[in-house]
Amino acid sequence: MSDLRIVWRGGEEHWTNKGDVRLFLWRRKPADQAPPAGTVLFVHGSSMASQPTFDLEVAGRADSSVMQWFAARGFDSWCIDCEGYGRSDKSRPVNADISSGADDLEAGSRYIQERTGAGPLLVYGISSGALRAALFAQRHPGRIARLALDAFVWTGEGSPTLAERRK
């Protein structure tokens, strides 16, 4: 059996902090020939890291990386690993709750905006990442130009999702 090694190319590794917690960000700059179109922040769900979710290139499958697709059209594309996921810190005994994830997005968005001079961000969250993104938007509405919530999961009181899982 050969060693399988994943090599991430075409992007930049970035790090920021939320207090003592190191958070990983990955960036794909907009293509040089494309007019500037905005800055996108992609937010992963609860069983995945950001890079393989949003920037996985598959040989023979054009446009398999959503970050590459957006970058080719002029978007400055970023994703972040929330605490406890991917390459971000996993040292604290946290349950990767939605509120903590929204705090991660606050730290990540601040880093992106300070580093690039970007205005309000286009934020896309999938699954529990949609919950994190929604709470972040509620807490910091001035940081968001547009918000897309994909596979939004409600797990609160009376949740049909939880009722189905109990069956």
Q: What structural domains does the chain harbor?
A: 12-166 (3.40.50.1820)
Question: What pLDDT is recorded for position 55?
Answer: 95
Ranges in the chain, pLDDT < 70: 1-8, 155, 161-167
What's the pTM value of the predicted model, to 2 decimals?
0.89
pLDDT tens readout for residues 107-135: 999 999 999 999 999 999 999 999 999 99
Predicted local confidence at residue 10, as pLDDT: 84
d(CA 126, CA 49): 12
Q: What's the pLDDT score for residue 152?
A: 82
**Do 22 and 15 meet the contact criterion of CB atoms below 8 Å apart?**
yes
Quote the CA–CA distance of 125 and 119 in Å, as a whole number: 19
**Structure token digits, residue 108:** 């990540």
CA distances to 32, 59, 97, 124, 152 from 44, rounded to whole Å, are 27, 23, 13, 9, 12
pLDDT for 87: 94
